[in-house]
Amino acid sequence: MLKDKEIQTIYYSLYEDEEWRLYLAATECGLCYVGSPDHSFTELEGWAAKRFPQAIFQENDQLLQSYKQELSDYFSGMRKAFTFPVDLQGTTFQKEVWEVLRGIPYGETYTYGQVAEMIKRPKAVRAVGAAIGANPVMISIPCHRVIGKNGKLTGFRGGLDMKQALLRLEQG
């Protein structure tokens, strides 16, 4: 764990395919950020300023190539789970929620209430929603698999069009 004043290098690269254009970022410990579609590098800088205030950025396509490959495999339907390491920066509660998200099977959806039940805090549905919204590595930690109790798609940092596309991809 880094001390507050230590400088952290964040390596980044732009992932592009036919449908998506996303900034990816990683530390030496793993993927730490997946950007929203078509958002600029400024979104990554804003996110990092809160979690890695002493960060310096270094573009490194080669270092992020394995992450890009797994994303490409996922988007093409050849991958259902990610194997790369992640470096998650968040509160204990957020990390608990994100761990539950990692366990949601490919092609399935859970409600916010079900996630709250799984962390044994059934009344914390709104807090669960906030933690899901703060997920820095969307897609690989599948927050898109969480829907409203009425079955409707609700908030997603990548936008509801992306959420719908990811769910449709996973339905085959």
- State the catalytic residues: 143
How far, in Å, are 66, 70, 140, 169 from residue 73 at the CA level?
11, 5, 12, 12
The residue type found at 23 is Y
Pairing of strands 56-59, 30-34: unpaired
Residues 6+ apart with CB under 8 A from 53: 4
For residue 34, give the DSSP letter.
Answer: E
